Amino acid sequence: MSNPLELQSKFDELKNQLNYHNYRYYVLDDPTVPDIEYDRLFQQLKELESQHPELVTPDSPTQRVGEAPLSAFSQVAHEVPMLSLDNAFSDEDLESFNRRLQDRLKNPDDIEFACEPKLDGIAVSLLYVNGQLERGATRGDGTTGEDITQNVRTITSIPLRLMGEGYPEVLEVRGEIYMPKQGFERLNQKAREAGEKTFVNPRNAAAGSLRQLDARITASRPLQMCAYSVGRFDGGSLPERHTEVLEQLHQWGFLINPEMAVVHNISGCLEYYRRLGEKRDSLPYDIDGIVFKVNNLALQQTLGFVSRAPRWAIAYKFPAQEEMTQLLSVEFQVGRTGAVTPVARLNPVFVGGVTVSNATLHNRDEINRLGVMVGDTVVVRRAGDVIPQVVSIVKSQRPADASEIVFPETCPVCDSPVETVPGEAVARCTGGLICGAQRKEAIKHFASRKAMDIDGLGDKLVEQLVDEGLIHSVADLYRLEASQVAELERMGPKSAENLIAALEASKSTSFERFLYSLGIREVGEATARGLSRYFGNLDALIAANEESLQKVDDVGPVVAHFVAEFLRQEHNLEAIEALQKAGVHWDDISVEERHEPLADQTYVVTGSFSLIKRDEAKKLLQQLGAKVAGSVSAKTHCVVVGGGATNNSKYVKAQELGIQTMTEEELVALLQEHGVL
């Protein structure tokens, strides 16, 4: 680029772009591009300035860390500038860094490096005077930050007073405030339940939490701080090595990173980088690289600084976990439980170490939250083995022909209606028994011990039978022949005959087991038992409307809707009829048999049992009509306490409320009296 006007124009364009992204990132906490895009632009500007140093100006992003702080907070001038770090993006970059060190240090044979994970959070400065926290500030533009003292005081990993002894009169500690992954997920789940906007990633969540004007909001957020260096230090003395300084800070009450290590030479740095890269996704916090520092503080002083970064440290970035690309189309996949998931088909992009062409959009609510349309430029995130997902859009780059994403009304696999229940985000196919996408899971559930209890029909055998095309529905199980089964892997004539015998035996079942085996949403064993005892037979249940279904104990509007909708679908009725034609049968429950001597009574079962399994005791109580609860209340009829544990909290509460209690022996006698044991 030899034309001076073109050169100046390119330089101005890069400056403006970076300044705008700095403003979005540091000031508004609302970045519009992923970090990798910012790093790419920054590298272009650095290369341009290195080739044309006459273009460098004081307002260049290479001469400072970010933009001005938020005006809502008072400003703090850093007594010692909080500089940024130079970045390495390849082994060659790291080796070049090492050569520069050797040149300045007259080619030492052995350089000791401190290695620390680069936490993806917010850099802060904490000032302690006579051991007491006096002030907290953000890095801001490196010279001036924001006073966030009241907020940092709410973070439990930040000591309000230093521990131990030997600390200086004035101590400035620098560190990274971040949000652990688990806390981030809890925060977003709470926001989703409240119908509020979720955070894109833990870094944004930490920034948004730290810059709250109301410190009570900050206190409610799961923030932590990890110390990584010392700024101002008046009085006393520091150890001679950086890692020893951090260990000293740890003794004074600061959290330091447990993954910190000391290595020798650049080969040790590269080995550490690869080891932490493999471990990255299992760490409880996000990291975006490794920081390598010359460990000897005297050598750090010798090496000194450039305008915006120390010569003795570098951040080796991991491959980007976020990238930009275009959303080409959206397809809908049906999962094994019937969940209909929108899948973004993308212009292939390299992110997280692999080429990504598909990403999940989760559900309709997520699409609405993102405001995403087909044709948009989107930010895609991939972390390790996690399924790539679209996390945001670049609305400024939306094309004129962008189109809305429309959810299907019928299942793309079996053409059954797709339903979204009020209060749920997931749309589901209603064709559980006949949908090809759900076939394997439906058959596994049908054959399970608590359902039809088909001995020998395990998950792997079900998958083989479906994959070989021997069965397409639950009714097909009863058409299997021993000769077909014997030819499957790990099967033989005897095993095949045993399976056919088990299938034959399973044809004789109970109404409640049959209902449970159908896999109706939210219909577990207790609900199936309640439905079977209330209606007595299949015809009465099919004829029931949602209002009458709710007369059954523990069946509310949602469960009633699921049951009624399932039994309304023609394909489900056809599947039930096919099972009956195959020989599956049960005895209907007469009005007399529906008599339940413990109806309207609530039991709580607690403690250890030896005469009968506790789960079995609960089932037998339910068989007699009782409701079995997990906690004691004024509505509890009786608390059964096993093991004679009179110090049991539920026993104590029963005594306080004057509720009847019963031993295991007394429960067994009751069950025997009513003929169920």
Query: What Rg do the C-alpha atoms of the chain give, in angstroms?
Result: 33
444 noted as active-site residue: no
* Residue ranges with strand state E in 425-517: 427-429, 508-509
Q: Distance between CA atoms of 307 and 316, rounded to whole angstroms?
A: 20
Residue tagged active-site, from 15, 118, 317, 650 = 118
Burial of 316 (0-12, 13-18, 19+ CB in 10 A): buried
Closest by CA to 389, choosing from 198, 210, 207, 205, is 198
- Helix (H/G/I), strand (E/B), else coil: 316: strand
Q: Distance between CA atoms of 21 and 30, rounded to whole angstroms?
A: 9
Q: What letter would DSSP give residue 589?
A: P
- Helix, strand, coil % over all residues of the chain, rounded to 5: 40, 20, 40
Measured between alpha carbons, how far is residue 422 from residues 46, 473, 508, 557, 561 in Å? 53, 30, 38, 11, 11
Evaluate whether 416 touches 477 at the Cβ level (below 8 Å).
no
The two beta strands, 602-607 and 638-642, are parallel
Closest by CA to 601, choosing from 636, 634, 633, 630, is 636
Q: Distance between CA atoms of 506 and 487, rounded to whole angstroms?
A: 23
The two structure tokens encoding residue 361: 């959009």
The CA angle 30-36-41, to the nearest 5 degrees, is 90
* Helix or strand holding residue 393 (H, E): strand 389-393
Reduce the secondary structure of 622-676 to three states and give it as a string.
HHCCCEEECCCCCCCCEEEEECCCCCCHHHHHHHHHCCEEEEHHHHHHHHHHCCC
The two structure tokens encoding residue 648: 């049991």
Q: Distance between CA atoms of 608 and 593, rounded to whole angstroms?
A: 32
Closest by CA to 293, choosing from 317, 320, 316, 318, is 316
The two beta strands, 508-509 and 261-264, are unpaired
Length of the chain: 677
* Bridge partners, residue 146, by sequence: 75
Q: Distance between CA atoms of 677 and 662, rounded to whole angstroms?
A: 17
Measured between alpha carbons, how far is residue 515 from residues 98, 155, 520, 560, 676 in Å? 70, 52, 8, 14, 21
* Helix or strand holding residue 133 (H, E): strand 132-138
Q: Distance between CA atoms of 342 and 372, rounded to whole angstroms?
A: 12
The catalytic residue positions are: 118
